[in-house]
Amino acid sequence: MQECSWQLKKILHGYRHILKQRLHSCPDLVSFMVELKTILEIALKNTEELHIQRPPEYYSCLVRDLEILGWNKVAYVDTSLTTIKLKAEDSCGRQHLITLKLNAKYPTEPPDCLVDFPVQFAISWMPQNSLIDIHNQFLAALESLKEFWDAMDEIDGKTWVLEPENPTRSATTRRIAIGNNISVTIEVDPRHPNMLPECYFLGADHVVNPLRTKLNNNMHLWDPKISLLQNLKDVLEIDFPSRAVLEESDFTKDCGICYAYRLDGTTPDQVCDDPRCGQPFHQACLYEWLQGLPSSRQSFNVIFGECPYCNKPLTLKSSMKKL
- What is the model's pTM? 0.68
pLDDT, tens digit, 9 for 90 and up, residues 89-117:
999 999 999 999 998 889 899 999 999 99
Whole-number Å distance between alpha carbons of 1 and 20: 10
Contact 314, 290 (CB under 8 A): yes
Identity at 188, one-letter amino acid code: V
Alpha helices in 111-204 (DSSP H): 131-144, 146-158
Residue 55: predicted pLDDT: 85
Whole-number Å distance between alpha carbons of 192 and 174: 16
122: Cβ–Cβ under 8 A, 6 or more apart, which residues? none
- Residue 168's CB is within 10 A of a number of other CB atoms, namely 9
Contact 286, 317 (CB under 8 A): no
Q: Angle 228-236/205-218 helices, nearest 10 degrees?
A: 110
Strand order in the sheet with 313-317: 297-299, 302-306, 313-317
Whole-number Å distance between alpha carbons of 18 and 54: 31
pLDDT, tens digit, 9 for 90 and up, residues 112-130:
999 999 999 999 999 889 9
> Which of 9, 2, 38 shows the shortest CA–CA distance to 22?
38
Residue 264: predicted pLDDT: 80
Q: Which residues pair with 299 in a beta bridge?
A: 302
- Tell me the Ramachandran region of residue 81: left when phi exceeds 0, alpha when psi lies from -120 to 50, beta otherwise: left
Mean pLDDT, the chain, integer? 85
Residue 321: predicted pLDDT: 38
Check residue 110 and report its DSSP letter: P
Domains and CATH numbers, the chain: 56-150 (3.10.110.10), 159-248 (3.10.110.20), 253-317 (3.30.40.10)
Contact 151, 169 (CB under 8 A): no
Which residue stretches of the chain have pLDDT < 50? 1-2, 320-323
Give the whole-number percent of the chain exceeding pLDDT 90: 44
Residue 53: predicted pLDDT: 72
Query: What three-state secondary structure class fits 49?
Result: helix
Residue 156: predicted pLDDT: 94
